[in-house]
Structure 1
Amino acid sequence: MDFESVFLANEDNFKEAFVNNANISNFTFKIKNFIYYNDVETAVKLGNKHLAGVLWLSHLLERRDSHAKKIKNPTAVLDALKSSSTKNNTNVSIHVTKDEDAPITYDAYVKLSDMEEYFTIENKLAYIEILAWNYRGFVGTEINKDDNEIIIKNSLYKGMLNMVRLFNHKCRQRRFLKMQLKTYFLIDGLKVSSKEFKILNVSKHFIRDDIEQAITKLIDFL
């Protein structure tokens, strides 16, 4: 029997976690690497009155398996997750960087055409963000209209690789729904999944055109 089944079979393992938001935060920190997503109703049925916390916590609780399930009205569920995270982190949101500049991210993607469960782009985007919400280093999502993709951003390279692996394992019963590494360009044949790079130790005597030409020769843009 797996960890989830044993853990959830005994209410004593988690009933105190529903007393207040502090307990909810402590509880989810302990189990977030073991328990996956579930419908909102699961935690509600346990009698928790702290709805904002429940909406977030309930998505960590899976039934007896770890397969991703269709979520009713994913846009509304995502709004509840964001609202709960904002309340539990009064200074900054869970996915906001402290740097003034946009963070460097390592990206993956899911093809919009591979998502048959939802009709609108908004619901497709929300569903992917809900599934990726608790992955380490997750930053956010955006639509890539040129390639008809949802881009999933991670602040860590290893975090992005782990996110892809976990997502595909969770969605393994959906043959066509797959997250893949996004390749923006090649360096010596190696795929690079970040748009950003730094040019260091360049003499001030070089003009911009020469630098751009050198970069073009070094990098194979896709």
Structure 2
Amino acid sequence: MKAQQVRETVLFGGLSLEVQLLISVTQWPCDPDRVLVVSHCRLDVWHMTLEVVPGCWQHPLHASYLCPLAGGWPRLLCRGKLLLPMGQELLLLDLQGGAGEHKPKWGWSSIGVQQNVDLGATLLSLSMVPHPPQHATVLDVEVVANALVPQLCTDKGLVYRVLVDYEAYAAAGEEGQATLMLALLLQAFSRQKTPSEHY
């Protein structure tokens, strides 16, 4: 379904929205029983998921809402780019192209990594490749975290054991760029010197 212009909608919590509102509808990538409805007006972005609940005959659809102004997801990136967390993945939706179709993990390239070993955090700068696919791109955050953690431990002189958990936060950038901060919780131990290393 292509983006449509509407004058007012009560979909998003029954709140009054501005006159010019763009709405895009796409299938929820990780769950075929959900539909993602995205609206944006100027720099304000809302998203709503419509979920079919099995066995519930009273309400065929159940809706949930999120607004970025309340400190939650999603985040608008550079007008028309919407970043959504999908479990271990981040989904980038292009709202200017009409339908938000789901594409596999293409279209992002890493342009730099800044590591703070003491805090166990990593800033990963991302940018669009010269000819990215249209609509949606997915970045597998867990793959990125698993690749960075061993290097963090090596830089600190630790022996990496296991990645326990992580959190990902995105910040808007310029010209199609975004900054992703990974907070990592991991298990590691100090490397003890062997007798030969004392000499």
For normalisation by structure 2, the TM-score amounts to: 0.28
For normalisation by structure 1, the TM-score amounts to: 0.26
**Which has more helix, going by share of residues?**
1
